[in-house]
Amino acid sequence: MRQMIGDIIFERGPMDGRPLPIVHMREHSRLIFYIVLALLVVPAVCKPQARLQSPEYAQVQLRLGRGWNTWDTHSVTTHVLLPEGLAVRIGFLDKRRLNGEAFLATAFIGQMDPNAEKVFPGPHAFDGSYTDLTLTWKGRTFRVQSATKAGELVLLVTPLATGVDDPLPMTAVFSVGFLWNRPGSVEKLTDRIEAHSAGRRTSFFLNGVETTACSAPVNSPYFSVDLDKPVAVTSGRSRSIDQVQAILAERRADYDRANQKAGKAASIADAIQTVLGWDTIYDPEHQRVISPVSRLWSVGWGGYVLFDWDTFFAASMASVGDRDLAYADAIETLNESTPRGFVPNYARAGEWKSGDRSEPPVGAITVLGLYRKFHEQWLLRDTFPRLLAWNRWWAEHRDVQGYLVWGSDAHGEPEDLDDPSRGTLQGARFESGLDNSPMYDDVPFDKTTGHMMLADAGLMGLYVADCEALAIIATQLGRIPEAKELAGRADRYRAKLATLWDEKTGIFLNKDLVTGKPSPRLSPTNFYPLLARAATPQQAERMVREHLENPSEFGGPFVLPSIARNDPAYKDQEYWRGRVWGPMNYLVYLGLCNYNLPEAREHLAEKSLNLFLGEWKKNGHVHENYNATLGMGDDVKSSDRFYHWGALLGFISYLERTEPASAH
C-alpha cells in the first residue's frame, strides 16, 4: 500500500536539511489529496502489542545490530557504529556562492528536485562491510566508499575529474557525534577526533590537510578538507590512502565472491543486495534493524514506515544473501499486528498504524518460503500465532456471501480518529494495496459494514494460498487441529473462488455482490487464483494464452500492466492505473509455478528483468512502478526512484535461474 495518489516529491526543509513531503496533485485528484494528507498527518495510534522476542530472534537482532553500516535513515553518507550509535557524517560545503556557502548535510538516493544532489548507488554489502556511491551536487561529482576491517571503519572520498580546473574546490566535512540520544562524548584533539562511550574509546584520523577556511554548520567536532584530491578518514589508527584503497579492494572482492554464489544470477544478487543494503536502517524506537521501502518514505513518515506486503517481499529478497535480515523483516512486520489480530496496512514511528484496514495477506507464503530455504523451525514457531490470528481475521471480518472482499472499519481503534478515508470506499481501496486501481472505480460500498461489495478474485487467491501455507506450517509444528482448520478453510474458499471462473472470457472475474454481475475489468490480480491452484490445468493454459500473453491485454515488451491495455484507464499510466508493479509480476510468477507452464514463466521472468535493468543500469534507480508503454519509471513523479520492491522484477529471474521448482 502507498498512501499516495498523484505526484509526491521531497524537498529539503529550511532548518535541518531533512526532506519534507511536498504533494503536487492534479485538480481532479484534489479529494484524494485531502485523504492522503490526513493519512500522513493523523494516522491511527494503536496500543502496542507485545513484540516477538524469543531467544533465537533476540540473537538475530543482536547479530544484525552490530558494527558499522549506513544505519541512519536521514542520509546515505552517514556511517554509524552499533550498538553505540556513534556516527561519522559526511557533508559537503560549496564555497562558490556570492552571498555565502551552501552545505549539503544529508544525501538521498532518488531526489526528485532537479537542483538536489544526485546519488548513483554502487554496491552495498548487507553487513556494511563495503559501500560505494557516486554523488553529484552543484556541478561537482565525488565517489564515496567505505569498508570495515576488524571492527574499524575506513572512508574514502575521491573527487572525479570534470576536465575544468577548480580554483575553489568543494570541502568535505567529516563530523563525529552520537545519534538517538545515546550517551557519549566527542572531542577534537590536535591530531585526531576522539569519542568515548561506555568505557570504549574510538579515535578517528584524517589523511589529508585540514582547511582553516571553513565554518561548517554542524554541532559536533569535525575534520574539514578541500576535495582537490582523495581524502580518507579512518577509525582506530591512521592509514595512508594506499592502505585505505587496499582495504576497499579487499572488501569489494569479498562482496563479489558472495554474489558469485548465485551462479547465473550473480548480477541480480548484486542488485538486490545493493537495493536492500541502502534501504536497510536502524530503528532506535524499537532497537531493531528493518528494511522500510525507501529512506524518503521513512523520513516523510517520521523515521520509518513499514507497509505490510512491501516488507514481507523485502524479507523474501533478503534471503538471497542475508538470512538474519530476511527473518527480521518478516518478524517485524508481524510485530506490528494490531490488538484485533491483523497486520495493519502501515505502521510508522511513534506506534502509529492503521486500525481500520490490513493489506494483502502474503505473510504465510513468505515465512514458508524462508523455512524451505533455511530449515529453522523456530521461525515457524515464533510467527505461527500471529499468522493464524491474521488468517482468522480475514474470514471473520471480510466475508460477504461466502466471498472475501476488501474493507475499512469505521470503528476500529481508535474510534475518534479524524481520518476521512476510514470506513469509506477509499479506505477499502487502500486495504487492497492498489490505491487507485480502475478495478475499484464506482464499485458499491456498504457504509454500515465497511465492506467493498465486490467479490475479489485476487484477494481470494492470495487468501487460499495463505491458508495452505499456514496449514503446512501448522503440520510442521505438530498443530494438527489448526492444520485441519486451515485446510478446510482453504477448500471452502477455493470452491467459492471457482464460481468466479467465466467460461466465456476464460479467466476468473471479480463479481459485484449487489447486482451479481461479473466485472469486465482485468488486472494481474485476476491471475492470482493460480496461487490457490483454483484453476484446472486447462483453465490455466487459457488464462495464459488468451490473456497473459495477449498483446492487447497483458502481453508486450513491458509487462505486466496493472490494468489491461484495452481498458480505458490504461492510458492514464498513473500509479495503479496501468503502470507495471514488481509485486504483481512476482505474485503472478509464483502462481505460474503451480502449473506446467515453463514458457510463460520464463517469458515473464525475462521481460521483468529487462524492464528492471533499463533504469538500474542507466540511473541506479529501482522504481516503485514503471510505465507499461515506455518501459521507464522517471516519466512521472509518483514513482519513488529507490523503492525496494521494484527489485522484485529482478528477483523473479533470480528464482527462475536458481530455484524455479521451489519458488512457491
Which one has a higher pLDDT value, 198 or 113?
113
pTM confidence score: 0.92
Instruction: Give me the pLDDT at residue 101, please.
Output: 79
125 and 229, same domain (yes or no): yes
Task: Tell me the pLDDT tens digit for each residue of 616-639.
Answer: 999 999 999 999 999 999 999 999
Instruction: Give me the pLDDT at residue 15, please.
Output: 29
pLDDT confidence tier of residue 333, bands split at 50, 70 and 90: very high
pLDDT confidence tier of residue 248, bands split at 50, 70 and 90: very high
CA quadruple 317, 322, 326, 332: dihedral, nearest 10: -130
Mean pLDDT calculated for residue range 139-160: 97
Task: Tell me the pLDDT tens digit for each residue of 516-552.
Answer: 999 999 999 999 999 999 999 999 999 999 999 999 9
Mean pLDDT calculated for residue range 266-294: 97
Instruction: Give me the pLDDT at residue 24, please.
Output: 33
DSSP, residue by residue, 487-528: HHHHHHHHHHHHTTEETTTTEE--EETTT-PBP----GGGGG
Residue 238 maps to which CATH number? 2.70.98.110
Mean pLDDT calculated for residue range 443-448: 97
For the chain, how many structural domains are there in total? Answer: 2
Instruction: Give me the pLDDT at residue 661, please.
Output: 53
Residue 58: inside a domain, yes or no? no
Mean pLDDT calculated for residue range 124-141: 97
Q: Is the Cβ–Cβ distance between 239 and 233 less than 8 Å?
A: no
Instruction: Give me the pLDDT at residue 359, please.
Output: 98
Residue 363: inside a domain, yes or no? yes
Q: Point out the domain boundary residue: 258, 276, 294.
A: 258
Report the mean per-residue pLDDT for the chain.
91
Task: Tell me the pLDDT tens digit for each residue of 446-469.
Answer: 999 999 999 999 999 999 999 999
Q: Does position 663 have pLDDT exceeding 50, yes or no? A: no
CB atoms within 10 A of CB 165: 7
Q: Point out the domain boundary residue: 242, 258, 274.
A: 258
Domain residue limits at 460: 7-51+261-662
Q: Is the Cβ–Cβ distance between 68 and 329 less than 8 Å?
A: no
Residue 241: inside a domain, yes or no? yes
Task: Tell me the pLDDT tens digit for each residue of 307-317.
Answer: 999 999 999 99
275 and 136, same domain (yes or no): no
494 and 581, same domain (yes or no): yes
Instruction: Give me the pLDDT at residue 1, please.
Output: 41
Instruction: Give me the pLDDT at residue 98, please.
Output: 59
User: Which long-range contacts link 65-69 to residues 24+ away (Cβ below 8 Å)?
Assistant: 65/282, 65/287, 65/288, 65/289, 67/127, 67/128, 67/148, 67/151, 68/128, 68/146, 68/148, 68/151, 68/153, 69/127, 69/128, 69/280, 69/282
Residue 172: inside a domain, yes or no? yes
C-alpha cell at 552: 492487447
Amino acid (1-letter code) at residue 352: W
Q: Is the Cβ–Cβ distance between 373 and 429 less than 8 Å?
A: no
Instruction: Give me the pLDDT at residue 664, please.
Output: 44
Instruction: Give me the pLDDT at residue 414, please.
Output: 57
Q: Is the Cβ–Cβ distance between 476 and 382 less than 8 Å?
A: no
Instruction: Give me the pLDDT at residue 35, please.
Output: 34
230 and 272, same domain (yes or no): no
Residue 166: inside a domain, yes or no? yes
198 and 211, same domain (yes or no): yes
Q: Does position 54 have pLDDT exceeding 90, yes or no? A: yes
Instruction: Give me the pLDDT at residue 279, please.
Output: 98
213 and 315, same domain (yes or no): no
Q: Does position 244 have pLDDT exceeding 70, yes or no? A: yes
Q: Point out the domain boundary residue: 227, 258, 289.
A: 258
252 and 305, same domain (yes or no): no
Residues found in the chain: 664
